[in-house]
Amino acid sequence: MLHASTLQGGQEILAGIAETDITPPVGFPMAGYFHERLAEGAIDPLKAKAVVFRSGDQQAAFVICDLIAASADFTIEVRNRASAKTGIPPQNIVVSATHSHTAPDYSKSLYAFLRAKDQTSQSETGQLRMTYIASLLDQTAQAIILAHRAAAPVTLASASLEQQVPVAFNRRFVQRDGSVRTWVGLEHPDSVRSAGPIDPEIGLLLVRDQQGVPKSLISNFALHLDTVGGSKWSADYPFFISQAVQKAFGPDVVSVFGTGCCGDINHVNPRGKDRNKTDFIGNALGTTITEGLTHLTVIDEPRLEVRTGVVQLPLQEATADDITKDVRIMKTARAGTAVDFVDHVTAHRRLMIDQLRNVPRHAQGEDAATALMMTSHWEGVGDSLPAEVQVIAFGKDAAIVFLPGEVFVELGLAIKRGSPYRTTMVIELSNCVETFYVPTRAAFAGGGYEVTNSTLKPGGGEMLVEEALRLLRSAASADR
C-alpha cells in the first residue's frame, strides 16, 4: 500500500467526505414530469454527498444530491454558504444532481424563498415548502462544510470497468422518413435503428485513509434515473449501488454516484416493452463495481489540478406571440384539461427561455407563474447561458469532468476519447439545468423529445466538449 506522505513525484492530497439527509416531508411536490404530484412517503432517504480535495494552495469540492437537477439558483446559494465557511472559492465548488425522478420539485419553492421578504406570512402549505427549502440549502452546504473539516491525507486508486449485464439502452430511434423519435422502440414498424450508442463504462475512484481504510468510492455511469415511479421519495438505483459498496467495504464507507451523460439513455429494452427494475439495475451495477475492485490502480503521483471554464451557450428565442400561446397551454394543462404533449413540452421550454433572455419578460404576473421552473439569479441573463465546465484531476491517471444539463451520451464519449487521462468520469447536471437537454448537432437535425426540450441552439453540446478537452489537457500538462 502506497501512502500519501511517501509518494514520489506527487503531492500530498487531503480528502474529506460527508453526507447529509435532504429527504423532504410528505406533501412536498415531486419532480420528474409535467404535472404536480405530492409525496406520500419515502422508500429510501435522499442524500447530499460531498467530497472535498485539498493539496497545497489548491482545493475543490463537489456535492452530488439526490435531486432531479441542480439549478443555477440552487448552485449559487449552496456555493456561497459553503464558501463562506470553508474558504473554498465558489468557482471550485461543484453542485450536481443525480436526476432522480422521485426527488423534490424545488425550483418554484426556491424562487419564492429567495424573493420572499417575510417567510412567516406564508400559508400552511407555503410554510412547509419554505421550511424545507431552508433545510435543503443548509444541509447541502453543510455536507461540504463537514467534508472540509474531515479532510485528511489519503491515497487514491482508479479504474474503468465495463458493464456487461445490459441495463442501459439508447432511447432514440431513426425512422424510415429520416426523422428521429424517442421511446418508440425497435419493434415499431417505422423504426430503422437506434439513433446512437450507449456508454458501458463505469468509472471508479477509491479514497482510502493513510492506514488503507476505504472512506469513499466514487462511481460514474450513464443511465437516466427514472426507474421507480410512484409518489414516494427514492434515490433510485444508486441506493442499491450504495448498499453493494457498503457490503464490500463496511457501513461507514460513503458511496458517491455521479450520473454520466445520459440525455438519450434509459432503462427500457428497445426490443420489447420490458423495463429493468430499480433493484435489478442497482444490483447489476453494484456487482460489476464490487467484483471489479481488483482492477483498481493506485494513483502514484496524485497531483491535484482544478480547472474551471465558462462557455457562453447560445439560447433559442421566445417571441411575445410564442409566450402568449404557451401561457394559454400551461393554464389549460393546470386546469386539468389534456393538452398535446409536444405543445406542453415546447411551452415549458420557451417559458424558461423567456425568463432567461427577455427583459422585461413577455409573461408577467400570473402568466409568469405558469412556468414549471423559475429562475431568480439568472433572470434576464441574456441571449446565452454562462455555463461552467469544471475538471478535477489527479496526477496522470484520473480526472472528473462536470457538465451542465442533460447531456447526450455521444458528447460524453467524445470527451472520454479525447481525454489524456486513463480514467475520465463525466458527470452531467452540474451547476445549472437551465439548458434542459444538451443534444448533439446531429440530434437537432433529427428532432425528437430531447430536441424539443432544449433551450439551446445547435452546437452548444460541441462547445462543452471543446472546453472540457481544453481543461483536461491544461490539467494534464501542468508541471510536466
3-state secondary structure 177-233: CCCEEECCCCCCCCEEEECCCCCCEEEEEEEEECCCCEEEEEEEECCCCCCCCCCEE
Q: Say whether both 343 and 272 belong to one domain.
A: no
What residues make up the domain containing 362?
Answer: 316-370
Q: Going residue by residue through the chain (480 aa), what tens digit of pLDDT does each one get?
A: 223 333 445 689 999 999 999 999 999 999 988 888 999 999 999 999 999 999 998 999 999 999 999 999 999 999 999 999 999 999 999 999 999 999 999 999 999 999 986 555 578 788 999 999 999 999 999 999 999 999 999 999 999 999 999 999 999 999 999 999 999 999 999 999 999 999 999 999 999 999 999 999 999 999 999 999 999 999 999 999 999 999 999 999 999 999 999 999 999 999 977 789 999 999 999 999 999 999 999 998 889 999 999 999 999 999 999 999 999 999 999 999 999 999 999 999 999 999 999 999 999 999 999 999 999 999 999 999 999 999 999 988 999 999 999 999 999 999 999 999 999 999 999 999 999 999 999 999 999 999 999 999 999 999 999 999 999 999 999 855
| Phi, psi of 320, deg, nearest 5 | -60, -40
Q: Say whether both 259 and 355 belong to one domain.
A: no
Q: Say whether both 25 and 147 belong to one domain.
A: yes
On whether residue 273 sits in a domain, the answer given is yes
Q: What is the pLDDT of residue 200?
A: 98
| Phi, psi of 144, deg, nearest 5 | -65, -45
On whether residue 393 sits in a domain, the answer given is yes
Query: Which residue reads 394559454 in cell numbers?
Result: 328
User: Phi/psi zone of residue 336: left (φ > 0), alpha (ψ -120 to 50 degrees), beta?
Assistant: left
Q: Say whether both 87 and 118 belong to one domain.
A: yes
Q: What is the pLDDT of residue 124?
A: 78
What is the spatial distance between Cα 38 and Cα 104, in angstroms, rounded to a whole number? Answer: 9
Q: Say whether both 342 and 462 belong to one domain.
A: no
Number of domains in the chain: 2
What is the spatial distance between Cα 441 and Cα 343, in angstroms, rounded to a whole number? Answer: 22
On whether residue 401 sits in a domain, the answer given is yes
Q: How far is residue 302 from each of residues 13, 134, 155, 168, 464, measured CA to CA in Å?
A: 7, 37, 8, 32, 26
Q: What is the pLDDT of residue 33?
A: 87
Q: Say whether both 397 and 345 belong to one domain.
A: no
On whether residue 378 sits in a domain, the answer given is no
On whether residue 383 sits in a domain, the answer given is no
Q: Say whether both 393 and 468 belong to one domain.
A: yes
Q: Say whether both 337 and 401 belong to one domain.
A: no
Q: What is the pLDDT of residue 15?
A: 98
- Give the distance from CA 141 to its chain's centroid: 17
Q: What is the pLDDT of residue 205?
A: 98
Q: What is the pLDDT of residue 478?
A: 87
Query: Which residue reads 421566445 in cell numbers?
Result: 318
pTM listed for this prediction: 0.96
Q: Say whether both 207 and 113 belong to one domain.
A: yes
Q: Say whether both 285 and 322 belong to one domain.
A: no
**Greatest Cα pair distance in the chain:** 67
Which grid coordinates belong to 207?
Answer: 479514497
Q: Say whether both 300 and 320 belong to one domain.
A: no
Burial string for 131-142 (b: 16+ CB within 10 Å, else e) reads bbbebbbbbbbb
Q: Say whether both 344 and 412 belong to one domain.
A: no
Close Cβ partners of 48 (under 8 Å, ≥ 6 residues apart): 19, 20, 22, 63, 64, 65, 66, 139, 140, 143
Q: How many residues in total does the chain contain?
A: 480
On whether residue 450 sits in a domain, the answer given is no
Q: What is the pLDDT of residue 36?
A: 83
Q: Tell me the residue type at 215.
A: K
On whether residue 452 sits in a domain, the answer given is no
On whether residue 232 sits in a domain, the answer given is yes
Q: Nearest-CA neighbor of 63 among 19, 1, 114?
A: 19
What is the spatial distance between Cα 443 and Cα 451, in angstroms, rounded to a whole number? Answer: 7
